[in-house]
A and B are shown apart, each in its own frame.
Chain A
Amino acid sequence: MKQTFETAMARLEEISRILAENNVTLDESLKLYAEGVKLLKFCNTKLEQAQIKISEIDGDILEA
């Protein structure tokens, strides 16, 4: 499935919750941490663009 911002955020919340529950093995928590770091990078990259992009659906510009 393609990673979307929504799914990445949802998974991050989940990882944060699972880690806080404190009943994961050290090995598992390291894996979750590594996954979390990747997702954080993905999300932060998506938010980097500082200037809104505007384009028209086709070339025709209609007068109001």
Chain B
Amino acid sequence: MADILTVTSLNLYVKSLLENDSNLIGIAVEGELSNFKKYPSGHCYFTLKDEKSTIKCVMFQSYVRGVNFVPDNGMKVIVRGKVSLYERDGAYQLYVTNMFLSGTGSYQIAFERLKEKLGKEGLFNLEHKKQLPQFPFKIGVATSPKGAALHDIISTAQRRFPCAEIILAPCMVQGAEAESTIINAIKQLDEVDDIDLIIITRGGGSKEDLWVFNSEAIARTAFACKKPTISAIGHEIDFSILDFVCDVRAATPTQAAEIALPDINSLKMHISSLERNILNTINNNFKNYRNNLLILEKSEGFLNIANRTSREKDKLISLQKQLKSNIDRKIELLSNNVYAKTEILEQQSPLNNLKKGYALIYKDNKVVKNYNFTAGESAKIVTDSQEVDFTVTKTRKRKA
């Protein structure tokens, strides 16, 4: 009889068989999720099934974090992992390390589940939508530095608003590590002070390629952004969860740049028209003031004043004339008077007497009167026609 084993040792033995079977290492299994439960610890327990069979699965918290969708019952998935045995229950199960959606139906379900969940939380509500800035001079772009999306955005920006600056936050836009790099890129751009808005974008691709933009974590990061966000993932027909969270959804990267940036030519035209308006109105204002002045000048009140002033002026001029003529007359009178007086004076001058035959006696060049000459003395007699020097020979008293 063979050795009697304990239950534990049996389970451990089978477990070692399962774990060491090379056929069971790193396997991938496809099936439908059921009995899906996520515990507060973060570990997930579920059953994978097909038409005939089921198998219990466990996915530990550290691996759950890498799943880029919200797993739910009914989804068709492919899981990778290893087969082992849980000794307590003697149940063999799949220890899942990766989980991928399988088939378009599953993608659709996952998408709807997350949309429903975030929608209920209010992440898509209109009141959270931020208005885009009118004139963004610095735009942040989270995308692949090698992708067509960046190229489209740059060429559109160059055409529409070349005075802008693009700050690129490079990230991967597909694959297992894309999610964390996208989150990081968005957060980095949101921290730059003078960035006016953020565009999160990638060019067209398969549903699987674009799948990362349905990530719950990316959606929450975009939702938490302080700056306005525009999503532009794939083409017109592609909708992602990110589109619902961002402030504006653009159908393509080119459209994102068109929405974000104003057209420089119309802006310049608008500025020119403002310039013309200002110049015209100020010219008109001045013209109006000038016209008002002219009207005022011709107004009755103003004319009356002007007339009155002119009347006063006439009066003043006539007064002035009168004054002048008065003064002239006075001067004439006075000068006549003076002339008359001069004539009298002239008549009375002693020189006048010479004409009558009198003579003047000069002694030392002075006219002398009542002078008593002595003999031998010299003097001068001035008549009307002559000056006569003489010497006195003899004097005698004149008989009266």
Judge whether A33 and B165 touch: CB under 8 Å.
Answer: no
Q: Is the CB of B285 within 8 A of A54?
A: no
B299 on interface, CB distance cutoff 8 Å: no
Report yes or no: A62 in contact with B181, Cβ–Cβ below 8 A.
yes
Q: List A contacts of B282 (CB < 8 A).
A: 19, 29-30, 32-33
Task: Tell me how many residues of A have a C-beta within 8 Å of chain B.
Answer: 38
Which residue of chain A has its CB nearest to the CB of B165? A53
B135, A9: Cβ atoms closer than 8 Å? yes
Contact B146 A64 (CB under 8 A): yes
- Do the beta carbons of B170 and A43 come within 8 Å of each other? no
Check: B173 CB closer than 8 A to any chain A CB. yes
The chain B residue sitting closest to A17, CB to CB, is B277
Closest residue of chain B to A54, judged by CB? B166
Query: What is the minimal beta-carbon distance from B170 to any residue of chain A, in angstroms?
Result: 5
Whole-angstrom distance between the alpha carbons of A63 and B144 in the complex?
7
**Shortest Cβ distance from residue B278 to the other chain A in the assembled complex, whole angstroms:** 5
Contacting pair B154 A54 (CB below 8 A): yes
Give the CA-CA distance A56 to B145 in the complex, in Å: 9
A54 close to B168 (CB less than 8 A): yes
Docked pose: A51 CA to B133 CA in angstroms: 21
What sequence of 0s and 1s flags, for each residue 148-181 of chain B, a beta carbon within 8 Å of any chain A beta carbon? 0000001001100111111111111110000001
| Residues of B within 8 A of A (CB-CB), count | 45
Residue on A nearest B275 in the bound complex, by CB: A40
With A22-B288, A57-B192, A64-B174 in contact, is A16–B157 under 8 Å at CB? no
Distance between Cα atoms of A55 and B162 in the complex (Å): 14
- A61:B163 contact, CB within 8 angstroms: no
| A52 interface hit (Cβ, 8 Å) | yes
Cβ contact of A16, chosen from B140, B264, B278, cutoff 8 A? B278
Q: Is the CB of B172 within 8 A of A62?
A: yes
Contact between A56 and B168 (Cβ–Cβ < 8 Å)? yes
Q: Which residues of A contact B285 (CB under 8 A)?
A: 19, 22, 24, 26, 29
* Cβ–Cβ < 8 Å partners of B144 in chain A: 62, 64
Encoded as 1 (CB less than 8 Å from any A CB) or 0, chain B from 220 to 257 comes to 00000000000000000000000000000000000000
* B392 CB within 8 Å of chain A: no
Please give, as numbers and ranges, the residues of chain B lying within 8 Å of A30 by CB-CB distance. Answer: 282
For B135, the closest partner residue in chain A by CB is: A5
**Complex CA distance for A52 and B288, rounded to whole angstroms:** 46
B282 vs chain A, min Cβ distance (A): 5
Which A1-55 residues have a C-beta within 8 angstroms of B?
5-6, 9, 12-13, 15-16, 19-20, 22, 24, 26, 29-30, 32-33, 36, 40, 43-44, 46-55
B27 within 8 A of A: no
A43-B271, A49-B163, A52-B164 as given contacts; A63 in contact with B278, CB under 8 Å: no
A16 touches B271 (CB 8 A): no
* C-alpha gap A49/B157 in the complex (Å): 12
Q: Contact: B163 with A48, CB < 8 Å?
A: yes
Which B residues lie within 8 Å of A46 (CB)? Answer: 137, 163
B370 at the interface (CB under 8 A from A): no
Give min CB distance, B163 to chain A, whole Å. 4
| Complex contacts, A19 vs chain B, CB 8 Å | 277-278, 281-282, 285
CA distance A26 to B289 in the complex (A): 8
Select one of B147, B162, B281 contacting A64, CB under 8 A: B147
With a 10 A CB-CB cut-off, give which of B168, B173, B268 has the most chain A CB atoms. B168
CB distance from A9 to the nearest CB of B (A): 7
> How far is the CB of A15 from the nearest CB of chain B, in Å?
6
**Given A56-B145, A62-B144, are A12 and B274 neighbors across the interface (CB < 8 Å)?**
yes
Using a CB–CB distance below 8 Å, which chain B residues touch chain A? 133-135, 137, 140, 144-147, 154, 157-158, 161-174, 181, 185, 188-189, 192, 264, 267-268, 271, 274-275, 277-278, 281-282, 285-286, 288-289
Q: What are 26 A-B contacts defined by CB distance under 8 Å?
A: A6-B133, A9-B135, A9-B271, A12-B278, A16-B281, A19-B278, A22-B281, A22-B285, A26-B289, A33-B278, A36-B278, A40-B274, A52-B157, A52-B158, A53-B164, A54-B154, A55-B165, A56-B145, A56-B168, A57-B170, A57-B185, A57-B192, A61-B170, A62-B145, A62-B181, A64-B172
Known: A20-B281, A32-B282, A64-B173. 8 other contacts (CB 8 A): A16-B278, A19-B278, A19-B281, A36-B278, A51-B162, A52-B164, A56-B167, A64-B144
